[in-house]
Amino acid sequence: MKNMSRRTAIKTALVGSAAATVSGITAATAITGKTAPKPAQLKGNIRHSVSKWCFGDYALDEFCGICKRIGIESVELLDPKDWPVVQKHGLTVAMAQGAGLGIDRGFNDPALHDELAASYEEVIPLVAKAGLTNLICFSGRRNGVTDLQGWENCEKGLKRIAPIAEKHNVVLTMELLNSVGHKDYLCDHTVWGVELCRRVGSPNFRLLYDIFHMQIMEGNIIEHIRKYHEFFSHVHTGGNPGRAEIDETQELYYPAIMKALVETGYKGFVGQEFVPREKDKIASLEKCILICDV
């Protein structure tokens, strides 16, 4: 998992056998047969979610049980076939996927607009039927266009599907990604994404503010949160450098970032999207949830 990228995870569903033990508590439960402990009591100021692709060696059903115990409300970035598994555990999917053509092939390419529109028109009603809200989308690669041309291309494509998103109360959410690791990605700065929101002009088109990616591209995380939070429907974490745990090993201080987010009145989810370096991945997840639980 240390060398796994987000792009690889999106292209290939990672299904593996469940680990024999996931933590001291769950291991003891498995051995003794006693009832699993009650979910963790968190402060409730942050709505906690986690990206499944970062923990791909756990079966989804088992992972949902772990998340429930920790106190996490959502397991995200999952296709429609997986949503019932999550909901069976009383959890939600804070950021759904299943529409579109991936990170590199997005709304910046007018030649893809027909295919993208057909895909989103099919999946948006499924999101609504499942009782979910956010559906991820991507700008795709820049492909040599200027910022202005990119805005025009994306605006044209997104306005085709914004009415159906509004009809079903689904929020199309474009992710802000760094264009270093995701070579040539267009929507790689907060102000560019915010301007696209203004151009599309729909309350059902917003941004996924990925703190890891924006730290690489522009920094100034807390100031951008304070200034542009109204355009964010979802937030992602990740340690920088290396996208590892969001602890003292990296350069961002997440308690201050989360406090700033809470102060804005943000009501969306915060999704943990770090790739654990520690051997006990679940212990890392619990630690990072507590770091963000301000």
The CATH number of whichever domain residue 246 belongs to comes to 3.20.20.150
Q: Is residue 22 part of a domain?
A: yes
* Number of domains into which the chain is organized: 1
Residues of the chain with pLDDT under 50: 1-4, 10-38
Range of the domain at 101: 6-292
**CB of 185 closer than 8 Å to CB of 154:** no
Name the strand (E) or helix (H) holding 206: strand 205-210
Which ranges in the chain belong to alpha helices (H)?
6-11, 24-32, 60-70, 83-88, 113-129, 147-167, 190-200, 211-217, 221-228, 254-263, 281-292
CA-based angle 282:283:285, to the nearest 5?
A: 60
**CB of 221 closer than 8 Å to CB of 179:** no
Nearest partner of 292 among 252, 241, 249, judged by Cα:
252
Distance of alpha carbon 145 from alpha carbon 140, whole angstroms: 12
What's the Cα-to-Cα distance from 109 to each of 58, 73, 172, rounded to whole Å? Answer: 36, 35, 17
CA 216 centroid distance within chain: 17
Q: Provide the pLDDT for residue 40.
A: 60
Q: Is residue 267 part of a domain?
A: yes
Q: Is residue 1 part of a domain?
A: no
Residue range 196-251, pLDDT digits in tens: 999 999 999 999 999 999 999 999 999 999 999 999 999 999 999 999 999 999 99
Q: Is residue 260 part of a domain?
A: yes
Q: Is residue 176 part of a domain?
A: yes
Q: Provide the pLDDT for residue 197.
A: 98
Q: Provide the pLDDT for residue 41.
A: 83
Distance of alpha carbon 294 from alpha carbon 289, whole angstroms: 10
Q: Is residue 36 part of a domain?
A: yes
**CB of 54 closer than 8 Å to CB of 276:** yes
**CB of 165 closer than 8 Å to CB of 172:** yes
Q: Is residue 133 part of a domain?
A: yes
CA 203 centroid distance within chain: 19
| CA-CA-CA-CA torsion sign (186, 189, 190, 196) | negative
Nearest partner of 249 among 284, 225, 218, judged by Cα:
284
> What b/e readout covers 160-188, taking b as 16+ CB neighbours within 10 angstroms?
ebbebbbebebbbbbbbbbbeebeebbbb
Distance of alpha carbon 130 from alpha carbon 93, whole angstroms: 9
Q: Is residue 140 part of a domain?
A: yes
Contacts of 117 (CB under 8 A, 6+ apart): 157, 160, 161
Residue range 254-281, pLDDT digits in tens: 999 999 999 999 999 999 999 999 999 9
Q: Provide the pLDDT for residue 39.
A: 53
